A and B are shown apart, each in its own frame.
Chain A
């Protein structure tokens, strides 16, 4: 039987794990050590890379620039389709890692010529203290911070993170509580609240929806995502419909057909969103930004490269209409 006096409650995410002495939370990386809640992976990223900004994906934030991207082990969701399950669903002692404290991360970003740092690959919300300290330090050094997250966290930490983040790509996986429970072992409502909060606190937000055959690829599913983004975050919020490939525990499902992604993009545009993209698959103009006024292509991309950028001072280079985003 556990000693109740020694239990520590982690209030970071809606799970609110009650940790007995020596126990770890659902994320595997937050532990009760001697009555203190310890972030085990603080300063120990297991992945550090210089990626293109378009890979996050962020299409309206410093296009064509490199971004120092890092992750530690750990995630508070357990999505059956996880593409990075080897690190997200791993114990910290089971993955290789480097010692890289926040000043070293910021120094590395500057050395590699990266104007921004991404907290990505796994769930940066779980390695909250590391993310927060690094982003704070980055801001003082003139380096921007990007969160790539599923946003399954409580309001207070979401507010604090938003205060140091410049941009976020947030995964909105389903518009159904039941699906979130079944596929991700999570909840929809706190995620919607966190996304809305980040947007309202001035973080540049782009939303990604992974389109998984049979799970969320019906017209109604696709429409509900677009309608929520349009209604709550606004028509200028970029929405990325992304193709699924059989992964982890959903290997029995087929990849998303390109036609489904084209249909998703049309549905998003029909809902009134100005910037809807189809990613992870080659579709003509699926990753092109069009001016909302003159409809001409202002940013053309191929995979993770920017082929052409006609944005001038945050506006269309042809008709001077403002194109929402953080362009420099």
Chain B
């Protein structure tokens, strides 16, 4: 029963997924040769929050 619920939930949300995912698009867009140790696509989540930075 629990398993079926999970499958249903996945099927419902799958249609609204963006493909490729932002993470995949981000990895593809990385400039060749650059080494980024811990870049994460989290910045946009904070878009509408007031900026903590000056300027």
Give the CA-CA distance A38 to B26 in the complex, in Å: 18
B-side contacts of A42, CB under 8 Å: 31
CB-CB contacts of A270-310 with B at 8 A, as 1s and 0s? 00000000000000000000000000000000000000000
CB-CB contacts of B15-55 with A at 8 A, as 1s and 0s? 00000001001100111011111111111101111110111
Confirm or deny: A251 has a beta carbon within 8 angstroms of a beta carbon on chain B: no
The distance from the CB of A238 to the nearest CB of chain B, in whole angstroms, is: 16
Is A55 a contact of B51 with CB atoms below 8 Å? Answer: yes
Is B55 a contact of A56 with CB atoms below 8 Å? Answer: yes
Chain B: how many interface residues by the 8 Å CB criterion? 27
Is B43 a contact of A92 with CB atoms below 8 Å? Answer: no
Total inter-chain residue pairs, C-beta < 8 Å: 89
Is B44 a contact of A98 with CB atoms below 8 Å? Answer: yes
The residue in chain B whose Cβ has the minimal distance to the Cβ of A86 is: B53
Is B31 a contact of A47 with CB atoms below 8 Å? Answer: no
Give the CA-CA distance A94 to B51 in the complex, in Å: 19
The distance from the CB of B3 to the nearest CB of chain A, in whole angstroms, is: 36
A-side contacts of B30, CB under 8 Å: 99
Top 7 A-B pairs, shortest CB-CB distance:
A99-B26, A49-B51, A83-B54, A98-B43, A121-B53, A99-B29, A33-B33
| Chain B residues within CB distance 8 Å of chain A | 22, 25-26, 29-31, 33-44, 46-51, 53-55
23 interchain pairs (CB within 8 A)? A38-B34, A42-B31, A43-B29, A44-B36, A44-B39, A45-B43, A48-B44, A48-B47, A49-B46, A49-B47, A49-B48, A56-B55, A69-B55, A83-B54, A83-B55, A87-B53, A93-B38, A97-B40, A99-B30, A99-B41, A121-B51, A121-B53, A169-B55
